[in-house]
């Protein structure tokens, strides 16, 4: 199926999409969209650079391996044959932006896993509830529960990155 081409061209698909999905603001919508996307990149790039440094220094100080960012990126959308060159550029931008946000989120989640393993007090459908938090202490835990948890090494067992060897 990967080698098969559709009978409908990509541009034909886009033309039909415009009939179904009308944008507000007419011809200004793409310009506004471009400005918003580029504005987001202006804010995300310094955060990305800061997190590169933070990831190295913070986990070095803690004598632990930093979170590898490579698994969060897969730059392969430029190989899609029916995309124009600008579409390919935007696809790679989206891959960088989404990969960066996921990597940054996992760095912060890893710190939470290691140093604050306490569940939030919210219903099961709360967007902050994650699968990995099921191993955390309940929100209404006692001090003895915390001591037992730390003594049994639960905070190490749920860690994504291994501890560095001395």
* Dist. CA 125–CA 104, nearest whole Å: 23
**Residue 103: per-residue pLDDT:** 94
Given CA atoms 46, 51, 56, 61 in this order, what sign does their dihedral have? positive
pTM of the model: 0.65
| pLDDT tens, the chain, 166 aa long | 455 544 455 555 555 555 555 667 777 877 888 899 899 999 999 999 999 999 999 999 988 889 999 999 988 877 777 777 877 888 889 899 999 999 999 999 888 877 777 766 666 666 555 565 666 667 666 777 766 776 665 544 334 444 445 4
């Amino acid at each position: 199926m990967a080698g098969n081409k559709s009978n409908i061209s990509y541009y034909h698909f886009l033309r039909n999409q415009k009939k179904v999905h009308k944008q507000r603001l007419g011809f200004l919508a793409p310009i506004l969209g471009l400005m918003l996307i580029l504005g987001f990149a202006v804010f995300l790039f310094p955060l990305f650079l800061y997190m590169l440094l933070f990831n190295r220094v913070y986990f070095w100080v803690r004598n632990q391996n930093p979170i590898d960012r490579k698994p969060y990126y897969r730059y392969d959308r430029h190989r899609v044959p029916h995309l124009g060159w600008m579409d390919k550029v935007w696809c790679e931008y989206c891959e960088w932006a989404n990969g960066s946000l996921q990597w940054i989120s996992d760095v912060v989640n890893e710190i939470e896993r290691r140093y604050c393993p306490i569940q939030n007090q919210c219903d099961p459908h709360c967007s902050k509830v994650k699968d990995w938090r099921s191993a955390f202490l309940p929100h209404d835990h006692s001090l003895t529960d915390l001591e037992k948890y730390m003594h049994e090494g639960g905070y190490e067992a749920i860690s994504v990155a291994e501890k560095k060897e001395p």
